[in-house]
């Protein structure tokens, strides 16, 4: 009896105490949310709570060891003032000394291709409500408003997107291109840019749409740079939502990889908004898709002038981020980061500038034809530059009727304004586009 008890005791003692290990800690600081990610070697049980005066967020992780130096975290742009940790009875306690009040939330994420088990702590400022106030201000002022263009740099934070052979990350180059486009749009009369993400942090796909809605965007542009197994693949493409499934095999593959960003970037289940989900079923989506195809076509036409494109037409696939039922939305794949030449291009400031200018021209010609009522651009039939008269340089294949149609003016009027007697045009010839 005594002996068997001893054996049992010995067995128990020899079982390894399998503490979970925390191999890495990352912090992403967004303007209204901070995210702290613990990389784990397996699932853990944890508890999260808040202590006041001073404000602290406490994370207790059962049976865990910290192998990461918390002092290496860059706290400068975050809500966190200091991070401390202590172990007691094999349990780990991490204390975040906050700069002010926050609402924390935590959840576990299962492994994906890029990461293992993760414990995510989201810190939200209590004051950071969605910009509802902005909407009411806009509604009450009877003045003409600017056209609002939401610029969405894909990926971010924990989700680097595609990677090039020389280490270029999609999340970095698309943010750089987005910022250039933002700058160009800000200089346009009657247009205002809003950035969906302004730094290196992740925003869930639905939150991206929600942000665009909150800002009352008239157009949503998501910027990406994809990768493919075959390093020779190159060129840009423009995508809009398909309700019936992808228009090509490549489209299905691409939509799947872009949609999986939420798994990599990490989204908790309560991020799903019921209201939004029901709105998604709205039948008005068809009209929105038609408008998206329209702006996408103009964008593709501009991109063709500076780079090779995959397809001569806008492609369609089931991208979650393009599902806003009432905001025309397009996704621009600016190039293949997996192609060495395009990777070099994509990180070149000059090339980024060219891409942004092409996108701006696409946006401009769309709103010249489709200015939303109540906007400054809608006041003049030919858009912001109508007063001084636009100029158009003839390219190969242009016809007088085509140009007249493009600017919604009669051929006769166009001929008179340019002293043309017939319909013959010369490549390189400049036409004055008169104000109606
Ligand atoms: Zn992407």
Q: CA-CA distance, 274 to 129, in Å (whole number)?
A: 18
Q: Examine the pLDDT at 425 and tell me if it is beyond 90.
A: no
* Confidence at residue 259, expressed as pLDDT on a 0 to 100 scale: 77
The answer to which of 182-186, 247-251, 365-369 has the lowest mean pLDDT is: 247-251
81 touches 99 (CB < 8 A)? yes
Token couple for 355:
């891409």
Query: Which sign, positive or negative, has the C-alpha torsion 251, 256, 258, 259?
Result: positive
How far does residue 275's CA lie from ligand 1's centre (Å)? Answer: 26
How far does residue 178's CA lie from ligand 1's centre (Å)? Answer: 13
Neighbours of ion ligand 1 (CB under 5 A): 154, 161, 224
How far does residue 355's CA lie from ligand 1's centre (Å)? Answer: 16
Q: How big is the CA angle at 16 (ends 12 and 18), to the nearest 5 degrees? A: 125
Beta bridge partners, 39, equal: 24, 118
How far does residue 326's CA lie from ligand 1's centre (Å)? Answer: 23
How far does residue 225's CA lie from ligand 1's centre (Å)? Answer: 6
What residues contact residue 396 under an 8 Å CB cut-off, 6+ apart?
A: 427
| Buried b or exposed e, range 273-294, using 16+ CB within 10 angstroms | eeebeebeeeeebeebbebbbb
Give the confidence band of 298 by pLDDT, cuts at 50, 70, 90: very high
Mean pLDDT, range 96-104, rounded to an integer: 93
Farthest-apart Cα atoms in the chain, separation? 116
Nearest in space to 367 (alpha carbons), one of 385, 351, 350? 385
How far does residue 162's CA lie from ligand 1's centre (Å)? Answer: 6
How far does residue 262's CA lie from ligand 1's centre (Å)? Answer: 11
Neighbours of 363 (CB within 10 A): 27
* Confidence at residue 269, expressed as pLDDT on a 0 to 100 scale: 46
Structural domain boundaries in the chain: 19-124, 133-369, 381-433
Q: Could you give the percent of the chain with pLDDT greater than 90?
A: 50
Q: Examine the pLDDT at 135 and tell me if it is beyond 70.
A: no
Give the confidence band of 114 by pLDDT, cuts at 50, 70, 90: confident
Q: Examine the pLDDT at 385 and tell me if it is beyond 50.
A: no
| Buried b or exposed e, range 339-359, using 16+ CB within 10 angstroms | beebbebbbeeebbbbbbbbb
Q: Examine the pLDDT at 134 and tell me if it is beyond 80.
A: no
What residues contact residue 254 under an 8 Å CB cut-off, 6+ apart?
A: 226, 239, 317, 333
How far does residue 319's CA lie from ligand 1's centre (Å)? Answer: 11
How far does residue 155's CA lie from ligand 1's centre (Å)? Answer: 6
Phi-psi category of residue 389: left, alpha or beta, with phi > 0 → left and psi -120 to 50 → alpha: left
CATH architecture of the domain formed by 133-369: 3-Layer(aba) Sandwich (3.40)
* Confidence at residue 125, expressed as pLDDT on a 0 to 100 scale: 82
How far does residue 349's CA lie from ligand 1's centre (Å)? Answer: 19
How far does residue 431's CA lie from ligand 1's centre (Å)? Answer: 40
Give the confidence band of 208 by pLDDT, cuts at 50, 70, 90: very high
Mean pLDDT, range 348-370, rounded to an integer: 96
Beta bridge partners, 200, equal: none
Q: CA-CA distance, 187 to 176, in Å (whole number)?
A: 17
Condensed to tens digits (0 to 9), the pLDDT of residues 394-418 reads 888 888 888 888 877 778 778 877 8
Q: CA-CA distance, 219 to 292, in Å (whole number)?
A: 9
* Confidence at residue 339, expressed as pLDDT on a 0 to 100 scale: 92
Condensed to tens digits (0 to 9), the pLDDT of residues 15-39 reads 445 789 999 999 999 888 899 999 9
How far does residue 227's CA lie from ligand 1's centre (Å)? Answer: 8
Mean pLDDT, range 90-108, rounded to an integer: 92
Kindly report the CATH number that applies to the domain delimited by 381-433.
Answer: 3.10.350.10
Condensed to tens digits (0 to 9), the pLDDT of residues 238-295 reads 999 987 766 666 677 777 777 777 766 666 544 444 444 444 444 457 778 889 999 9
The answer to which of 138-152, 322-336, 420-434 has the lowest mean pLDDT is: 138-152
Kindly report the CATH number that applies to the domain delimited by 19-124.
Answer: 2.60.40.3500
How far does residue 330's CA lie from ligand 1's centre (Å)? Answer: 13
Token couple for 395:
């390219």
How far does residue 10's CA lie from ligand 1's centre (Å)? Answer: 55
Condensed to tens digits (0 to 9), the pLDDT of residues 311-343 reads 899 999 888 888 887 899 999 999 999 999 999
How far does residue 429's CA lie from ligand 1's centre (Å)? Answer: 40
Q: Could you give the percent of the chain with pLDDT greater than 70?
A: 83
pTM: 0.71
How far does residue 226's CA lie from ligand 1's centre (Å)? Answer: 6
How far does residue 156's CA lie from ligand 1's centre (Å)? Answer: 10
* Pair type for strands 33-40 and 20-29: antiparallel
Mean pLDDT of the chain: 83
Mean pLDDT, range 340-368, rounded to an integer: 96
* Confidence at residue 12, expressed as pLDDT on a 0 to 100 scale: 47
Residues in the chain: 436
* Confidence at residue 389, expressed as pLDDT on a 0 to 100 scale: 60
How far does residue 198's CA lie from ligand 1's centre (Å)? Answer: 16
């Amino acid at each position: 009896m005594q002996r068997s008890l001893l054996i049992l005791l010995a067995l128990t003692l020899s079982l390894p105490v399998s503490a979970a290990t925390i191999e890495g800690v990352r912090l992403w600081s967004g303007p209204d949310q901070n995210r702290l990610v613990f990389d784990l070697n397996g699932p853990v049980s944890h508890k999260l709570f808040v202590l006041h005066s001073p404000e602290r967020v406490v994370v207790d992780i059962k049976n865990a060891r910290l192998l990461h130096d918390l002092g290496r975290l860059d706290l400068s742009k975050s809500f966190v003032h200091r991070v401390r940790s202590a172990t007691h009875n094999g349990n780990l306690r991490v204390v975040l000394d906050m700069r002010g009040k926050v609402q924390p939330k935590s959840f576990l994420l299962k492994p994906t291709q890029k990461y293992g088990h993760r414990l995510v702590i989201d810190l939200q400022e209590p004051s950071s409500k969605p910009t509802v106030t902005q909407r009411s201000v806009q509604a009450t002022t009877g003045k003409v408003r600017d056209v609002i263009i939401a610029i969405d740099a894909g990926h971010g934070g924990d989700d680097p997107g595609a990677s090039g052979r020389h280490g270029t990350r999609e999340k970095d180059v698309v943010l750089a291109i987005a910022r250039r486009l933002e700058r160009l749009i800000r200089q346009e009369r009657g247009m205002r840019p809003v950035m969906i993400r302004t730094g290196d942090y992740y925003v869930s796909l639905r939150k991206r749409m929600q942000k665009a809605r909150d800002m009352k965007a008239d157009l949503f542009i998501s910027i990406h740079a994809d990768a493919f197994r075959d390093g020779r693949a190159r060129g840009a493409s423009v995508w809009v939502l398909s309700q019936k499934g992808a228009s090509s095999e490549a489209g299905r593959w691409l939509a799947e990889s872009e949609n999986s960003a939420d798994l990599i970037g990490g989204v908790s289940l309560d991020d799903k908004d019921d209201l939004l989900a029901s709105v998604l079923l709205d039948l008005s989506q068809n009209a929105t898709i038609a408008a998206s195809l329209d702006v996408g076509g103009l964008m593709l036409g501009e991109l063709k002038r500076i780079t090779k494109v995959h397809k001569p037409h806008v492609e369609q696939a089931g991208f979650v981020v393009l599902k806003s039922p009432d905001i025309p939305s397009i996704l621009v794949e600016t190039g293949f980061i997996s192609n060495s030449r395009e990777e070099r291009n994509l990180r070149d400031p000059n090339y980024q500038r060219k891409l942004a200018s092409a996108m701006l021209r696409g946006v401009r010609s769309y709103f010249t034809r489709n200015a939303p009522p109540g906007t400054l651009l809608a006041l003049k039939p030919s858009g912001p530059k109508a007063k001084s008269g636009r100029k158009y340089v003839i390219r190969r294949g242009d016809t007088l009727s085509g140009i007249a149609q493009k600017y919604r003016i009669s051929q006769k009027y166009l001929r008179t304004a340019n002293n043309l007697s017939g319909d013959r045009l010369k490549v390189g010839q400049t036409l004055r586009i008169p104000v109606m």
